[in-house]
Amino acid sequence: MSRVGKKPIPLPQGVKVTVGEQILVEGPKGKLTVPVLPGVRLEQENGTLEIRRDNDSFAAVHGLTRALTANAVTGVSTGFVRELDIVGIGYRAEMKTDEVISFSLGYSHPIEFVLPKGVSCKIDKQTHLTLSAIDKQELGQVAANIRSLRPPEPYKQKGIRYTGEVLRKKVGKTGAGGK
């Protein structure tokens, strides 16, 4: 049996799960839906949610459904946070409106990034972004899109990186010169 799939999902106070054609998870931060894949059923008992599968041919979707449901439960109860750092002289970000971030990243023009609905951003000291949302997948995609505006380069490591990301630094040219 799947190690991930058989682990029960604890339901925090205030989180309600409704099973139909989709799993609807409602909590203090909002609502999320998770698809119910064939061969998988849900059982709710004593404040926990258990995912069961019909037979071993549904092993892959068993773990997937459990992981997606657990992420939805965590999202509507506490939410998810992703932090990014901007490194480089003159590189900075500022909020234009509640959903538009303006980046100065060494290009000839500022870059305006529109946040999707459900994702919020807080900027500290113009170089530290804190993204938060209830949907883990959407939050990760937005963070990856922001990072792709100026990924850290391997020599001076200037650019946008995840907080705590370990980068490998390349050695620059040696000054041997001539014959």
> Which pLDDT tens digits describe the chain residue by residue (179 residues)?
567 777 888 888 888 888 888 888 888 988 989 888 888 888 888 888 888 888 888 888 888 888 999 999 999 988 899 999 998 888 888 888 888 989 888 889 988 989 999 888 898 898 898 999 999 999 999 999 988 888 888 888 888 888 887 878 888 887 666 55
Does this chain's domain 9-77 share its CATH topology with 80-162? yes
- Name every residue whose Cβ is closer than 8 Å to that of residue 156 and which is 6 or more positions away in sequence: 88
Choose which CATH entry (3.90.1150.10, 3.90.930.12, 3.40.190.290, 3.30.450.20) describes domain 9-77. Answer: 3.90.930.12
Evaluate whether 17 touches 25 at the Cβ level (below 8 Å): yes
pTM score of the predicted model: 0.83
Evaluate whether 10 touches 66 at the Cβ level (below 8 Å): no
The fold for domain 80-162 equals Outer Surface Protein A; domain 3 (3.90.930)
pLDDT of residue 81: 93
pLDDT of residue 139: 92
pLDDT of residue 2: 61
> Given phi > 0 = left and psi -120 to 50 = alpha, else beta, which region is 163?
beta
For residues 18 and 108, what is the distance between their CA atoms, to the nearest angstrom? 51
Domain ranges of the chain: 9-77, 80-162
- Chain center to CA of 85: 15
Evaluate whether 60 touches 73 at the Cβ level (below 8 Å): no
